[in-house]
Amino acid sequence: MILTTERTNARTWPEEQLAELFSEGFPQFITADRLGKEYIGRVREWFADLDLMLVDEDGVPVAGGWGVPIRWDGQVESLPTGYSQTLVQAVEGRERGAEPDTLVICGAIVTPSLKGRGLAGRTLTTLREVGREAGLSRVLAPVRPTTKARYPLTPIDSFMRWRRPDGAALDPWIRTHERMGAQILAGAPASQTMTGTVAEWESWTGLVFPESGEYVIPDGLSLLRIDRDADEGVYQEPNVWMRHA
Ligand SMILES: CC(C)(COP(=O)(O)OP(=O)(O)OC[C@H]1O[C@@H](n2cnc3c(N)ncnc32)[C@H](O)[C@@H]1OP(=O)(O)O)[C@@H](O)C(=O)NCCC(=O)NCCS
């Protein structure tokens, strides 16, 4: 398959093409990360060179991936807490004029009909190359394990170590990164924090939450904690810090 790479902001993509590309994989509540929302505008504006689409022969975007540059000393102890903190560090680093040295891959998507054919790997490879050309010698990713939602009760530090009998990671998205030479560094149990009112959570999940307490929610990688007195639901999304070779 012949694919070309374009920056996501290079043109206005037809709405139906974007709807198809993003039609699977991200639950509605993913947008309830207040910290992420505060920074995403500046991320899109300033780091557009690290926000790419893979486009097929007909000009249709079939995969995408994006990242941000941060400064990192290579120590596990100084990793950001996860995805949201990475956006904060990238934006604030740029505002301070700090010289970044590390690409953090923040997201990737493959159109549903082409999943499982290695397009994600091609997307990550392209991003790594662009990052290297920009002087980002280290590559990190707060990986969102795609099958973690089937095990919402399991702590991320356990889940990320689960292996198949052949030794490969049980989770396919961790596996893709490992095939590309990445290694697990640490769990990121609170990579993102999503907050909303009880009514918002009910509309995002299609469930009702009659009492305060913890709930398993569709596509939730961990549990939702509902506080009816405060009219608030809080969900912390776990990720896995991986470092590419
Ligand atoms: C995660 C994602 C980007 C992986 O893309 P991909 O191109 O399917 O990745 P790969 O081809 O490397 O496949 C990865 C593994 O998942 C399996 N897989 C995942 N989804 C599959 C599907 N729908 N059909 C078949 N296989 C699938 C593949 O078989 C492969 O397993 P293997 O290690 O045994 O070969 C893609 O599934 C996706 O867009 N998901 C929704 C968004 C998301 O969760 N992104 C990651 C967090 S930002």
| Chunked mean pLDDT (size 10), the chain, 245 residues | 95 96 94 95 97 96 98 97 98 97 98 96 96 97 97 98 98 97 98 98 98 98 98 98 96
Q: What is the pLDDT of residue 18?
A: 96
Q: If you search the block for the tokens 């300033």, which residue do you land on?
A: 46
| Apex 5 CA angle, 94 and 79, nearest 5 | 35
Q: Is residue 30 within 6 Å of ligand 1 at its C-beta?
A: no
Distances (CA, A) of 89 to 42, 47, 79, 119: 12, 13, 10, 29
Q: What is the pLDDT of residue 74?
A: 97
Q: What is the pLDDT of residue 1?
A: 85
Q: Where are the alpha helices (DSSP H) in the chain?
A: 15-21, 34-46, 83-96, 119-133, 156-159, 172-179, 198-205
Query: If you take atom 21 of ligand 1, which residue's CA is the nearest one?
Result: 116
Q: What is the pLDDT of residue 4?
A: 96
Q: Given 3-state DSSP classes, what are the helix, strand and coil percentages for the chain, each rounded to the nearest 5?
A: 35, 30, 35
Mutate to test the pocket of ligand 1, among 110, 117, 147 (most ligand atoms within 8 A of CB): 110
Q: Does residue 190 contact residue 238 with C-beta atoms inside 8 Å? A: yes
Q: In sequence order, what are the beta bridge partners of 224?
A: 215, 235
2-22 in b/e form (b: 16+ CB < 10 A) is ebebbebeeeebeeebeebbe
Q: What is the pLDDT of residue 117?
A: 94
Q: How far is the CA of 108 from the centre of ligand 1 (A)?
A: 10
Domain ranges for the chain: 4-145+159-189
Query: If you take atom 19 of ligand 1, which residue's CA is the nearest one?
Result: 116
Superfamily of domain 4-145+159-189: Gcn5-related N-acetyltransferase (GNAT) (3.40.630.30)
Q: If you search the block for the tokens 């993003």, which residue do you land on?
A: 22
Q: What is the pLDDT of residue 200?
A: 98
Q: How far is the CA of 218 from the centre of ligand 1 (A)?
A: 19
Q: What is the pLDDT of residue 71?
A: 97
